[in-house]
Amino acid sequence: MKTGYIYDESYFWHDNGSGTLYLTSGGYLEKDVFVEDPLTKRRVNNLLFRSKLMDDLHQLKPREATKEEIEYVHKTSYIDKVKELSDTTGGDAGDHAIVGRGSYEIASLSIGGAIRAVDAVMENEVDNVYALTRPPGHHAEADFGIGFCIFNNVAIAAKHAQKKYGLKRILVLDWDVHHGNGTEQAFYDDPNIAFVSIHQHLSFPNNTGYKEDVGTGAGEGYNINIPLPPGTGDAGYVAAFQHIIAPILDEFEPELILISAGQDPGMFDPLGRMMMTAKGFGKLTDIMLDLADKHCDGKIVFCHEGGYSNGYVPFCTLRIIEQLSGIKTDVTDPFEEGSQGYPDQLYSNQKAAINEVIEVQNKYWKTLKTLP
Ligand SMILES: [Zn+2]
């Protein structure tokens, strides 16, 4: 496999300011490292170098997205607001979407990373791509930034794929532990882009991501939310992939697959409670690679979203890129032994949650069958 990799040093220079977990520090919140810190992403990069996997990845350079491209998803007034904050004092572009000085250009380059990834796969420059995009994008709505997301990288890249290559069926899968509300909004009435978000139910945002939200108008049936209970581990995720996502892809037959890859379902994440292991992320990647081979000549693009454990995100992400490239390094997950006793089976509450999604979605996807 020829696997492309995209990052830019400036991705690590987007500055959220000081904070404690996801809040601005002050009052009784003593200053700490803000949870969306560059270090998590830099450590992904560092482990790729340290393991020498970086040597075997095809390096692709991002470019800044144009304002016209950002307007595929975002309102002009919102784009102008972000630019003004970025050029002056910085500030919040909505709800916890911090714009630092110069963040407009970095966010544009993050979008451009996703666009470059799509172009590289569509033009057969590489087989697949992992783009270490930062700031992340999946929460960002048309005129509102949310949850560290300023512009919606993956949504804009999907629109780019529609416009430039005339694609009629794109599948966007968001496995970040939080609901991909921004991406859902961008394609809610679009039957040409199927959106699947698998997430911890009501983790964030706390009022979106319901299984009943299936799309509207011509897009009805093409929005698939899979809310799972806290504590779902590898086995629960794999079951949801095998029994919901794979059959839907087999019916939809996508021409391109985009993954919003947030590694915050990982077992040490401060903002998620999903207990996934690096090995589990490898299994999910394998399932998606098989589906991409079956339906779209292997065309699959991964764009980094959330993931806040400095210690663990690098190992989860390395495993994903190993599976993408087919190259096994000598790095093993040093935390695997410590995860013995973590959930590794399909529990009844997870099976119930999966079946509830299937009962909603089999109105649209006839091959879905509830689990016994
Ligand atoms: Zn997240």
pTM: 0.98
Q: What confidence category does residue 37 fall into, taking pLDDT thresholds of 50, 70 and 90?
A: very high
- CA–centroid distance, 309 to ligand 1, in Å, is 11
| More confident of the two residues 344 and 106 | 106
261 contacts: CB under 8 Å, gap ≥ 6: 130, 175, 176, 302, 303, 304, 305, 317, 320
The answer to whether the beta carbons of residues 44 and 263 sit under 8 Å apart is no
Q: Catalytic residue, from 139, 179, 243, 304: name it.
A: 139
358 CA → ligand 1 middle, Å: 24
pLDDT digits over 50-84, tens only? 999 999 999 999 999 999 999 999 999 999 999 99
**288-345: pLDDT as tens digits:** 999 999 999 999 999 999 999 999 999 999 999 999 999 999 999 999 988 887 777 8
Give residue 359 CA to ligand 1 midpoint distance, Å.
26
Q: What percent of the chain has pLDDT over 90?
A: 95
**What percentage of the chain's residues is helix, strand, coil (to nearest 5)?**
40, 15, 45
Question: What pLDDT shows up at residue 342?
Answer: 79
Question: Looking at the predicted structure, is the pLDDT value of residue 18 above 90?
Answer: no
Using the predicted structure, report yes or no on whether residue 94 has a pLDDT greater than 90: yes
CA of 307 to the centre of ligand 1 (A): 6
Q: Could you give the CA distance from residue 208 to residue 138 in angstroms, rounded to a whole number? A: 13
- Reported confidence tier of residue 91, pLDDT bands at 50, 70, 90: very high
Q: Cβ of 59: how many Cβ atoms within 10 Å?
A: 10
d(CA 172, ligand 1 centre) in Å: 16
CA of 306 to the centre of ligand 1 (A): 4
Residue 201 annotated in active site: no
Residues recorded for the chain: 372
Q: How far is the CA of 201 from the centre of ligand 1 (A)?
A: 12
pLDDT average, residue stretch 130-152: 98
pLDDT in tens, 238-260: 999 999 999 999 999 999 999 99
